[in-house]
C-alpha cells in the first residue's frame, strides 16, 4: 500500500491540499508529520492521474510515493557539493584562481550529464595548477556553508542507529571538514595532488565518479551487514544517479533537470530534513544537531 508524502517549505503546505488529494484518491487518514509542512496518507494504489497531478502540484509541494514498510533506513549515503553544502567546492577554488565563470559552466554541464564526469573534473582541476594550498582553508572558512537541515538529518538518523557516509566527486580536503562538522561516520572523495604547498593541477587516480559512488554503496552496506534496500541516498548530479537508483530510497535534492527526470523521489521545496519526513519521522522525532 503506497504512502503519499507531501512536503513544502515550513508554513507553506495548505491542509486543504492534503485533504483534497486524500479524498480524490480514496486515501486513508492524513497524518501530519509537521504542521503546514509535511503530511502523508496511504492509498490502495497509485491513481491513474498520478503523474499529471504530481506535475501540476510541483510549484506547491513535493509529492512523492513511498512503500509502507521498511521506510526508516539504516544508512545515509550522501553527496557533498550542492547537497550537504550549498556550494560546488571546485567552483569556489576556481573563483579564487580567476577562472570561476569558466569552471562553473563546465561543472553545470557535467552535473547535468552533458559531459563525462572524469574528463570534466580533470579539465577543471588542471586550471587550478599553481594555486597555493592555503587557499583551500580560506575557501572552507569563507565560502562553504552547510545545506539547511543537514546536521538535523544526520543527528536524527544516528540517534536511531543509522550509519552516515559522505561520498563525493569533490575533494578530501573538503570532505574531511564537512564530514566532521556535520557528524558523518566516514567520507570518501578525490585527493588533490599538492607539491611544495601548491596545487599541481592533478588528482590522484583513480577518479571517484559515478561508479565509485556505487562501489561505496556496495562496500559500506556489505561491511555493515545491511542490504542496499536499507540505504537512503541523496544527491543532485548525474554522477549520483547510479547510487540513487540502487539505494532503497534514492532522493534527488534540488537536482539538475536530467537527474530529476530519472528519479522517482524528488525534493525541491523542503531542505534536508525532507529526507526524514520521507522515512516517516515526525518533527517531534528529530534529534538535536
Q: Which residues are tagged catalytic?
A: 79, 81
All three cell numbers of 266, joined, read 524528488
Q: Is the dihedral of CA 209, 225, 266, 260 positive or negative?
A: positive
Cis preceding-peptide flag for 206 (omega within 30 of 0)? yes
Unique residue bearing C-alpha cell 569558466: 102
Closest CA to 38 of 66, 12, 19: 12
* Residue 280 buriedness (CB in 10 A; 0-12 / 13-18 / 19+): middle
How far from chain centre, in Å, is Cα 208? 17
Q: Which three cell numbers stand for residue 132?
A: 597555493
Q: Strands 31-34 and 62-66, how do they pair?
A: unpaired
End-to-end CA distance of the chain: 33
Phi, psi (rounded to 5 degrees) for 183: 100, 20
Residue 283: all three cell numbers together: 518533527
DSSP class of residue 146 equals B
Place of cell 554503496: 217
Instruction: Identify the helix (H) or strand (E) that includes residue 190.
Output: strand 186-190
Beta strand pairing status for 163-171 and 75-78? parallel
Amino acid at each position: 500500500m503506497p504512502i503519499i508524502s507531501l512536503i513544502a517549505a515550513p508554513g507553506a503546505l495548505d491542509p486543504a491540499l492534503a485533504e483534497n488529494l486524500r479524498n480524490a484518491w480514496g486515501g486513508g487518514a492524513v497524518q501530519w508529520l509537521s504542521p503546514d509542512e509535511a503530511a502523508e496518507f496511504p492509498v490502495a494504489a497509485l491513481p491513474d492521474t498520478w503523474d499529471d497531478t504530481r506535475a501540476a502540484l510541483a510549484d506547491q509541494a513535493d509529492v512523492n510515493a513511498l512503500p509502507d514498510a521498511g521506510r526508516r533506513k539504516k544508512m545515509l549515503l550522501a553527496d557533498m557539493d550542492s547537497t550537504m553544502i550549498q556550494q560546488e567546492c571546485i567552483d569556489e577554488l576556481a573563483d579564487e584562481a580567476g577562472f570561476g565563470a569558466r569552471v562553473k559552466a563546465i561543472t553545470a554541464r557535467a552535473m547535468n550529464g552533458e559531459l563525462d564526469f572524469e574528463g570534466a573534473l580533470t579539465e577543471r582541476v588542471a586550471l587550478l595548477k599553481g594555486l597555493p594550498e592555503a587557499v583551500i582553508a580560506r575557501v572552507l572558512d569563507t565560502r562553504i556553508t552547510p545545506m539547511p537541515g543537514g546536521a538535523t538529518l544526520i543527528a536524527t538518523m544516528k540517534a536511531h542507529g543509522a550509519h552516515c557516509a559522505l561520498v563525493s566527486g569533490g575533494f578530501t580536503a573538503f570532505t574531511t571538514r564537512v564530514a566532521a562538522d556535520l557528524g558523518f561516520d566516514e567520507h570518501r572523495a578525490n585527493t588533490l595532488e599538492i607539491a611544495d604547498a601548491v596545487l599541481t593541477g592533478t588528482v590522484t587516480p583513480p577518479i571517484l565518479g559515478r561508479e565509485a559512488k556505487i562501489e561505496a554503496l556496495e562496500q559500506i552496506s556489505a561491511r555493515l551487514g545491511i542490504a542496499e534496500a536499507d540505504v537512503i541516498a541523496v544527491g543532485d548530479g548525474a554522477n549520483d544517479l547510479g547510487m540513487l537508483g540502487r539505494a532503497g530510497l534514492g532522493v534527488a535534492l534540488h537536482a539538475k533537470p536530467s537527474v530529476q527526470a530519472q528519479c522517482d523521489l524528488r525534493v525541491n521545496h523542503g531542505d534536508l530534513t525532507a529526507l526524514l519526513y520521507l522515512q516517516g519521522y515526525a518533527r517531534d522525532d528529530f534529534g538535536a544537531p
